[in-house]
Structure 1
Amino acid sequence: MRRWLPSPLLSCSLLLMWLMLNQSVEPGHWLLGGALGLVAPLLARPLQPHGHARLGRPLALFRLLWLSAIEIVRSCFNVSQIILLRRSADVNSQFIRVPLELRSPHGLALLSCLINSTPGTVWVEILPDTHELLLHVFDLHDEQWWVDTIKTRYEQPIMEVFETPQRKTEGDRR
């Protein structure tokens, strides 16, 4: 079953989206939407070299996304204010390094999306030798605040969601 229908939820979502975009429930649209729902996940399978993500704590994911949405809106106002009301000479644009413990490819992808969605910050790269995130901040005042914010507001919840906790061994329980 998984061979022909690798992602049933995605297939259903694609079918429903097709029907909504076409604003029709005629049999032809059901057929085309069903074909899209079957073929698209099969063609996308090679693009997932690490397999499907396993969500450890979905509620932590919703809390993370909610707090991220608030941060994005707040940053929109802050960056707009900086652009409209400050002189460009007063803006302190800098690169900073944030050490990361997160190793999950899916978690790193989510962290990248959240950082790049927040106005005023850009994910530049992960430095491979030190596993540090190189981050560009539009108006930097306190580098340690940014490091703490990335690690506590973003990295920790993402690790809760995507990385499985280590099981305790018999020696750890004593």
Structure 2
Amino acid sequence: MGRHHIGSTSDTIAAIGLAIGGALGMAGTFVGSDVLRETLWTIDGVGIVVATALLTMKYQRLGNDLVAAGFLTFLAGESLLLAGNAAGLQASVPSYAGGIALWAAGLVMVSAQASFPLWMRLTAFVSAALFTVSVLMILWASPLLPTSAPLPALGYPFLVLTFIGWIWTLMKPEC
């Protein structure tokens, strides 16, 4: 007889952190007020740091070191983004570039093995590629801000789709 399991408290908290991060991160990209954007992105960042810390522990316990290290790398990137948040868009660009570079590396590490369904891995790879191009453009003196379009803004929807996949993985019933 199978036991249905929705997930541990840690899985639920991680899913909530990813949901908050995805929703408020996207919202912050489109608001006009600097104070509101910085507030939304700070809450978003804390949610993502909590979620990826818990995911690091989960996958380490499962013995999947590459995925665990990927989530830890993503956490480090998100921490850099948090550090630059209160400085405003222009002043945050150096920590933003470092943060999304680590996001890209973390996404590739998490998705390198078949630990997640293919569609999640593909959205992660697309997001990582778009963020990598954005980092290179910033390093090569393109005047990109965290809210610039098409890059880096095009990477955010793919990142949120990846988060939705991770949330689904955390919350799906296991039989």
TM-score tier after normalising by the smaller chain length? under 0.3
Q: Which has the higher strand share?
A: 1
TM-score by length of 1: 0.25
Which structure: larger Rg?
1
Higher RCO structure (Cα 8 Å, ≥6 apart): 2
Q: Which has the higher helix share?
A: 2
